[in-house]
Amino acid sequence: MLSKSVIKYIQSLQQKKFRDEHKVFVAEGTKVVGDLIKHNAFQLQAVYCLSSFYFKYKEMLPEDQVHLINEQELEKIAHLHTPNEVVAIFYQCSVQQVKEISGSITLLLDDIRDPGNLGTIIRTADWFGIKNIVCSKSCVEMYNPKVVQSTMASLGNVNILYTNLEEWIKQHPNIPLYAATLYGESLNEKTAVKEALLLIGNESKGISSSLIPLVHHPVMIKGFGNAESLNAAIAAGILIYSFQQRLI
């Protein structure tokens, strides 16, 4: 049986200040938790699960970190409207870094605020083999529960760095910077590339004015309807796909 203090602790982790304080984050649901444990990208602190989850993943679960609970207890600690077998707590990465970016596609995110968008972007990047994402400090936190859920466990497969984006770009002047804009060349006109930085801006405001002068190649995703703009996650997916096709 879960104590009141444990329930309060897990519930508190829905707030960023407590996640930062304890250096942990929460994941929920059989698919997300199971894959995060299997990939072993984050150190596990504790698993609170129904017996159905336990017997499914028993071989991968450290016995001293497993707490079997009932459905009523799961409802108290779960954030999802429909709790699904398990809530797990993982330690955050102690160091944020991106690995070698030369000869590859690196995604840059400027002021992405919507958790669902960031989670979808991370998942899309993982699907297309993007290993590094560099976020401005104003982007939504990668450990936000909605981000974690929408990544569907891709959170552990991509290197993510939060930094001063302007300074970071200036440190890599030799890699061409492409930015999704409402002007510029059509994606269809782009030729092969050896490496690239792909910049996606804020959902409503676009790319920050301080970053625009640093862009080498503004590119446009040509539309055929009447919508004013694309969702940031959709734009990122189209841009990533297009440039991965051109990577040599």
Q: How far, in Å, CA of 144 to CA of 118, rounded?
A: 10
Same domain? For 69 and 113 the reply is no
124: helix, coil or strand?
helix
Domain co-membership, 122 together with 199: yes
Length of the chain: 248
Say whether both 56 and 131 belong to one domain: no
Angstrom distance (rounded) from CA 221 to CA 243 = 12
176 and 214 fall within a common domain: yes
Q: Are 90 and 65 in contact (CB under 8 A)?
A: no
Residues 16 and 82 in one domain: yes
Query: Which domain-ending residue is among 45, 64, 91?
Result: 91
147 pLDDT more than 80: yes
**Is residue 17 pLDDT above 80, yes or no?**
yes
* Predicted local distance difference test score (pLDDT) of residue 20: 96
Find the mean pLDDT for residues 202-209: 92
Q: Is residue 232 within 8 Å of residue 124, measured between CB atoms?
A: no
Looking from the CA of 117 toward its CB, the CA atoms found within 13 Å total 21
Residue 200 is assigned to a structural domain of this protein: yes
Say what the pTM is: 0.93
* Residue 207 pLDDT exceeds 90: yes
Q: What is the CATH number of the domain that holds 66?
A: 3.30.1330.30
Number of domains in the chain: 2
Residue 97 lies in a domain: no
Instruction: State the residue for tokens 């690239």.
Output: 196
Rounded average pLDDT over 94-122: 94
* Rounded Cα–Cα distance for residues 237 and 128 (Å): 9
Which domain, by its residues, includes 208? 105-246
Q: Is residue 98 part of a domain?
A: no
Residues 129 and 85 grouped into a single domain: no
Give yes or no: residues 76 and 133 share one domain: no
Task: Give the end of a domain, one of 26, 59, 91.
Answer: 91
- Greatest Cα pair distance, the chain, in angstroms, is 62
Residue 3 has pLDDT above 90, yes or no: yes
Residue 187 reports pLDDT greater than 90: no
Whether residues 235 and 149 fall in one domain: yes
The answer for residues whose C-beta is within 8 angstroms of residue 220's C-beta and 6 or more apart is 180, 181, 182, 183, 184, 185, 186, 187
pLDDT of residue 1: 82
Domain annotation covers residue 96: no
What pLDDT sits at residue 190? 67
Q: Is residue 26 part of a domain?
A: yes
What proportion of the chain, given as a percentage, has pLDDT over 90?
Answer: 80
Average pLDDT, the chain: 94
Residue 29 in tokens: 């649901």
Tell me, yes or no, whether 54 and 169 share the same domain.
no
Q: Residue 19 CB: number of other CB atoms within 10 A?
A: 20
Q: How far is CA 43 from the centre of its chain?
A: 17
Final residue of a structural domain among 91, 118, 148: 91
Residue 53 placed within a domain: yes
